[in-house]
Chain A
Amino acid sequence: MLKPIRKSMETEQPIHWKRVHDLDDFVYFDHQSHINNGVGCESCHGRVDQMPLTRQAKPLTMQWCLDCHRDPGDRLRPADKITTMGYDLKKDNLSGKELIQHYHIDTDQLSQCYTCHR
C-alpha cells in the first residue's frame, strides 16, 4: 500500500494527492491556531484511524464552523490529547469553560467575519 510513497522517495517525484478537505478560496484557515487552542484533529477530520480511504467526515460548511466558533467549549481538549482519536472530555472530568480559560480563548473574536474571511 505504501509503494507509491517509497517510489516517490526514490525518484524524488512528489505524489499528487487528491485534496479531500477543500475550503473555498475566500476562507482562511490556520491549523496552528486550532491545534494550539485545543481543537483535536478528530473534530474536523473525523475518525481517520477508521478510514481505509480518507473521506470528508464533517460538512465543513460555514454553519458547521460557526457552531463551534460560537461555542467551542465542549469541543476542546488538553494539549496532549490533540491527536487522540475517540477522546471524550467528560471522562477526563474537564469542563469546556475551564479549557477556554486555560487557552485564553477570546470567544467574542471567534465569530467575527474577519477571523476567517478577508
Chain B
Amino acid sequence: MKRTDFSHLRRQLANKQGREYWRCLEELADSEHFRTFLTQEFPRFRPLWDSHLSRRNALKLMAASMALAGISACGRQPEEELVPYVNQPEHVVPGKPTHYATASVIGGYGHGLLAESHEGRPTKLEGNPEHPATLGACDIYSQASVLSLYDPDRSDSVMHGGNASSYDSLLAELANKQHDWDKTQGKGLALLTGAVTSPSQYARLRQLFERWPRATWHVHEPVDRSAVYAGTEQLFGQPLEAVYDFSTARIILSLDADFMQGQPGFLRYAHDFSTGRRPRDTDQSLNRLYTIESTPGITGAVADHRFPLAYPHIEMLARRLARFLDIQITDPDAIVEAPWLEAIARDLDRHHGAAVVVPGDQQPAAVHALAHAINHRLNAFGNTVHFIEPVDVAHQAQPLETLVESMKNRQVQDLIVLDANPAYTAPADLDFASAYRHVPWQLHWGNYYDETARLSRWHVPATHPLESWADVSAHDGTVSLIQPLIEPLHDGKTVLQILTAITEGKNRKPRELLRDYWHDRHEGNGFEQFWWRSLNEGLVADTAAAYMTPQPRHDWQKQLPSARPARQTGSVILQLRPDPALWDGRYANNGWLQELPRPLTKLTWDNALVIAPALAESHNLAEGDMVRLQVGQQTLEIPVYILPGQPADAVTMHLGHGRSHAGRIAEGVGSNAYALRNSQQRWATPVSLSATGRQQPLAVTQQHHAIEGRDLLRVGTVSDYRQNPGFAQSHEPQESLYPESWPAVPESDHAWGMVVDLSACIGCNACVTACQAENNIPIVGAEEVRHGHEMHWIRVDRYFEGPLDTPRMAFQPVPCMHCENAPCEYVCPVAATQHSADGLNEMIYNRCIGTRYCSQNCPYKVRRFNWFDYTSAEADYPAEPAVQNPDVTVRSRGVMEKCTYCVQRINATRNKADAENRPIRDGELMTACQQACPTSAIVFGDLADQHSEVSRLREHPLNYAMLSELNTRPRTTYLAAVRNPNPEIEEF
C-alpha cells in the first residue's frame, strides 16, 4: 500500500472551505488504491474467480447449471410431521411469541430485559421499559447474549483432570473437602470471583466465610473499577459508588469516561444525556459535553468539544482544573498544554448545581477524588451526582495480586474460581498460569472450557443467564430477578447451586435456592404475591439504593498521591481499553460481536494498535503495517490502525482478543493485549515500538459504500440553528424522470416512514446488533468483510471533519431508505423488488435471481448480497438454527437482501390491531433498531397519521433527506445534528 502523505493531507484540510466531512484517510488523500477499490463496479463486486476460465470450461459449467436448475425446480416439498403438545400449556399459542422479564449481567451489573420466546426457545431480547438501567433499550452485549446461549462451543460436561466426569463425583469429593476445611477453618481455601452484585450470591458467600473464617476472598474483574472505590475513599473516607443524573446536567465534563458505552448504567446515562440535547424535543438550551479522552470513543465523538490527551496526563489536567476552581491542592509539576481548560472551568463555574464532572472508571483513584471534589465545589451532590453504597460487594475482597503471591508461597491448597478466566485475563507480569499450577486442587465454574478451566482439576459448566435462576443489581442498586427461558442446555449449574454444593455438598434445585433466599429476606405476609410480581415486572420493588450525603474529609488533599513526574519526551504510552464489542474477552466467541464494526475504527474481527496520524507520520507507518511492541520483557506483534483524534504520544490496544481456548469463532483472532499488561500500571504503560516491515490486512468496513463529495451528513451549531432553523434543508427537485404523478397519491391507510435524529445518535451500534438478531443476519468472517461482503442491514457511518489530529466526529445510521421512487425497483429484470401500497420497498427472496442490478443502482448502497452460503451447516460460520427468528426468512446463497422496516413486526401489529378491531396506535409498532436505541434517535411510524411522532419530525425544520437531489424521495429521512459548542473556545 502506498504511504499516506500526511503533510499533504494537512494542507488539504487547511484549504477546505466550510464544513466538509471525510470518512477515512484514504478517501481524504484520494489515493489511487482507494479509487481502484471504489470503481470496481462498486466496492463489493470483486472478481470472484481469479483463475483463467477457458471457453470449454464455461460451456461445461453452463450445461451443468442448466441441468441442475431443471432438477431443483421439480417436485413437492419434503414430507413434514406435526408434533403438537399433548397438554397444551396455558397462554402458549403456537406461532405467537411470549415475553418474560429477566436480566442480563453486563460487567457484573444488571440490565433488565424482556425476552421473546418462541415455543420455549428464546430468540430475541429487548430492554425492560420499567427497568432503571435500560428504560426499554438494549445494549449490544445483552442483545448478542442470546447467540451465546446456543453456542456449540459452550462447555457441556463436568471435567476432572481433563476428562469428562459427573457432578455427583464432584459432590462426593466436596464432601471430603468440607471435612478438611472444617478442621482447618478453611485455611488454605481461596475463592476468586468477578464483580458480585447479586444479593443471594453474596448471602451464600457470607455463609461460606462464616463457616470457614480463614478462607480468603479475592476479586479479579479485568475491567476493574477499584479506582472508583479507592478514589471515593480518599475523598470521603469510605468507598462509594457515584450515580449520575444527566437529565438535570447542563454542562458535563468527561475525564476519559466512556459513560455511554463502558460504565455501569451506560444505557440509562446515554438516554438521560440525549434527552437534554435533542432540539426536536426541547426549546430550551441544549446541554453541553466536553470530553477529554485518551482514545477516541463514542462519548468523545458526540461531544461538543473533544480533546485528545494521553492517559497519564488526564490526572494533571484534573489537578489544574481543580486549581482553577479554587480547590487547594499542590500544583502539578507536569504542565499539560490545555489552553481551553480555563474556558471549561468558567463554564462549569457558571452552572452550579447543573454541572458535573465524570471521571473514567479506568482512571486512577486520584482522578476520581479530584473529580468529586470538583463536583462538590460545583454543588453537584444531590443534583447531578448521587452517592450510594458500592453496588459491587466484591470491592471488599482482596485483589488478584495477593492471591498470586499466596499461590507462589504455596499457601493456597484449594482454589475455587467462579466465572473468571485469570489464565487469560491476568496481567502478564503476575504469571498467573504457573502460580495456578502450584495449587493442589482447583475448581473452575464457567460457561466455557477456557484457558483457566483447562488448567483446573475440576471444571463445572455454568448456566447462561437465560437458563438461570439468579438475581443481580443495576448501577443504582435496583435488584432484578433473573428467570430462565429454557432448561439448561448442557446441564449447567447456577452460581447458587455451585456455592451450595461447596458449603452443603448437595445438588439443590436452582429455583428453590433463589426463592428460599428471597423468602428469608421478605418481611411480613404476601410472599407469593411479592415473588410473582417481582418475576413479572423484572425487578424487585423499592430496592434502589438510598442516596447518601457524603462530605469530603477536611484533609483529603493529603491523601492524594504526589503528582507524578513528567514523562520523558520521545517515549510512547501504551493504553489498554476494554474492546467496544468483546469487552474483556468474555464475548470473544460471539460472532455477532466479533463482526460488529467498532464505533470509531470500523474494525471487525482482528484488533489493531490504534495510532495517531502524527505517530504514523514520524514512524512512517501505514494501515496494516505490523509493529513490534515491547513492554519490559514482553513483546507482541500487531498491525496498526491510524485513527485521527488519537493522542499523538499514546497508542491504544483493545483487550479481549487473541484467545487460545475460547471456541471456534474466537480462536486465532487478534492479539492478546493482556500479554503486555502490567499489574502496577494496568491501563497505561510506556512501550517501545518498532516497525517489522510486514503487513497484515485488516477487516475494516469504513471504506465500503463510500459516497464521496456529496452532502450526506448535515451538522450545525446551536447558533446556526437559532439563526436559520432550516439550515439543513436543500431544494427539492421539481421535475422528475420517474413516471409517477407528483406528488404520489397514497394508496393505503398507512405510509410507513422513519426519521433518524443525528443529534441523538451516539454511534453505539445497539441498532446494528438488534437488527442482526431480529432479521437473521448471518456473519461472514474476516476474509469476507475484507472484500466488503458484510451483511448488516443497517450500518453506522462515521465521519470526521476538521483538523487531522483533532477532528470532530459524527455518526449516521444508514438503513434502506425505502425510496418512493426507488432506483432499485426499475432495474430488476424479474420484479423481485417491488413497492408496496404503504410505501415499503419490498424484497422478494424467492423471486431474486441475483443479478445485483438493484444494488448497482442503489445510491445509498444499502443492499446486501449473499455471495456465498452464509447460513447452512456447511457455511464457514454456520447460523445456529435455534436462534433464528421464525418470522423472518433465512436467506440462501445468490439472493439480495436489505432492511425491510421489520415488515414482520408491521404485519404482526396489523394483524393484532385487526383482530382487536382498532387502528394501530402510534408508538405501538417499533422496528428492532428503534426499540434497542437508548437515545430514541430512530423514530418509526405512520406518515399518513398526521398526529404521529414521525409526521411531526418530518415537518421539523431540521429534517432533510439524503441525496434528495436525485428525487428518490426516501421514506427514511434525517434530522440534522445540532451541536452546542462553547463560543469561548475557538474551535468549532
Binding site for B on A (CB under 8 A): 8-9, 12-19, 22, 24-26, 28, 30, 32-33, 36-37, 104, 106, 108-109, 112-115, 117-118
Contact of B838 among A8, A14, A17, A109 (CB under 8 A): A109
Collect the chain A residues with CB atoms within 8 Å of residue B907's CB.
28, 30, 114-115, 118
Per-residue interface assignment for chain B, residues 821 to 854, with 1 indicating a CB less than 8 Å from any chain A CB and 0 otherwise? 0000000000000101110101011100000000
Interface set, chain B 854-911, CB cutoff 8 A to A: 887-889, 900, 903-904, 906-907, 911
Evaluate contact between B87 and A12: CB separation under 8 angstroms.
yes
How far does the Cβ of A59 sit from chain B's closest Cβ, in whole Å?
12
Evaluate contact between B834 and A18: CB separation under 8 angstroms.
no
B84 at the binding interface (Cβ < 8 Å):
yes
Interface of B is mostly: loop
B80 at the binding interface (Cβ < 8 Å):
yes
Contact of A112 among B77, B80, B836, B888 (CB under 8 A): B836
Given contacts A26-B845, A26-B889, A114-B840, contact A108 B903 (CB under 8 A): no
Report the Cα distance A103→B515, complex, angstroms: 49
Evaluate contact between B844 and A113: CB separation under 8 angstroms.
yes
Binding site for A on B (CB under 8 A): 77, 79-87, 95, 747-749, 834, 836-838, 840, 842, 844-846, 887-889, 900, 903-904, 906-907, 911, 914-915, 917
Given contacts A12-B87, A32-B915, contact A114 B842 (CB under 8 A): yes
Rank and list the top 3 A-B pairs by shortest CB-CB distance, nearest first. A19-B80, A17-B82, A112-B836
Given contacts A19-B81, A30-B911, contact A112 B842 (CB under 8 A): yes
21 contacts between A and B (CB under 8 A): A15-B84, A19-B79, A19-B80, A24-B846, A25-B889, A26-B846, A30-B95, A30-B911, A32-B911, A33-B914, A104-B914, A104-B917, A108-B747, A108-B837, A109-B837, A109-B838, A112-B842, A114-B906, A117-B845, A117-B889, A118-B887
Report the Cα distance A62→B339, complex, angstroms: 71
Report the Cα distance A14→B85, complex, angstroms: 6
Report the Cα distance A114→B901, complex, angstroms: 11
Evaluate contact between B86 and A8: CB separation under 8 angstroms.
yes
**A-B pairs with beta carbons under 8 A, tally:** 87
Evaluate contact between A118 and B82: CB separation under 8 angstroms.
no
Contact of A17 among B81, B748, B846 (CB under 8 A): B81
Evaluate contact between A22 and B77: CB separation under 8 angstroms.
yes
Interface of A is mostly: loop
Collect the chain B residues with CB atoms within 8 Å of residue A17's CB.
81-84
Collect the chain B residues with CB atoms within 8 Å of residue A13's CB.
86
Contact of A118 among B87, B747, B834, B900 (CB under 8 A): B900
Collect the chain B residues with CB atoms within 8 Å of residue A28's CB.
887, 904, 907
Evaluate contact between B836 and A114: CB separation under 8 angstroms.
yes
In the complex formed, the residue of B with least CB distance to A24 is B77
Report the Cα distance A25→B206, complex, angstroms: 54
How far does the Cβ of A24 sit from chain B's closest Cβ, in whole Å?
7
In the complex formed, the residue of A with least CB distance to B749 is A106
In the complex formed, the residue of A with least CB distance to B889 is A26
Given contacts A108-B748, A117-B844, contact A14 B86 (CB under 8 A): yes
Report the Cα distance A89→B889, complex, angstroms: 37
Evaluate contact between B81 and A16: CB separation under 8 angstroms.
yes
In the complex formed, the residue of B with least CB distance to A30 is B911
Report the Cα distance A9→B84, complex, angstroms: 12
Collect the chain B residues with CB atoms within 8 Å of residue A114's CB.
836, 840, 842, 900, 903, 906-907
How far does the Cβ of A81 sit from chain B's closest Cβ, in whole Å?
18
Report the Cα distance A36→B918, complex, angstroms: 13
In the complex formed, the residue of B with least CB distance to A19 is B80
Evaluate contact between B82 and A19: CB separation under 8 angstroms.
yes
Evaluate contact between A118 and B904: CB separation under 8 angstroms.
yes
Evaluate contact between B838 and A37: CB separation under 8 angstroms.
no
Report the Cα distance A100→B935, complex, angstroms: 42
How far does the Cβ of B951 sit from chain A's closest Cβ, in whole Å?
20
How far does the Cβ of B235 sit from chain A's closest Cβ, in whole Å?
56
Given contacts A13-B86, A33-B911, A37-B914, contact A106 B748 (CB under 8 A): yes
Given contacts A12-B86, A19-B82, A22-B80, contact A36 B914 (CB under 8 A): yes
Report the Cα distance A114→B887, complex, angstroms: 12
In the complex formed, the residue of B with least CB distance to A110 is B837
Contact of B836 among A18, A36, A113 (CB under 8 A): A113
Report the Cα distance A17→B81, complex, angstroms: 5
Report the Cα distance A108→B77, complex, angstroms: 30
Contact of B83 among A16, A22, A30, A109 (CB under 8 A): A16
Collect the chain A residues with CB atoms within 8 Å of residue B888's CB.
118
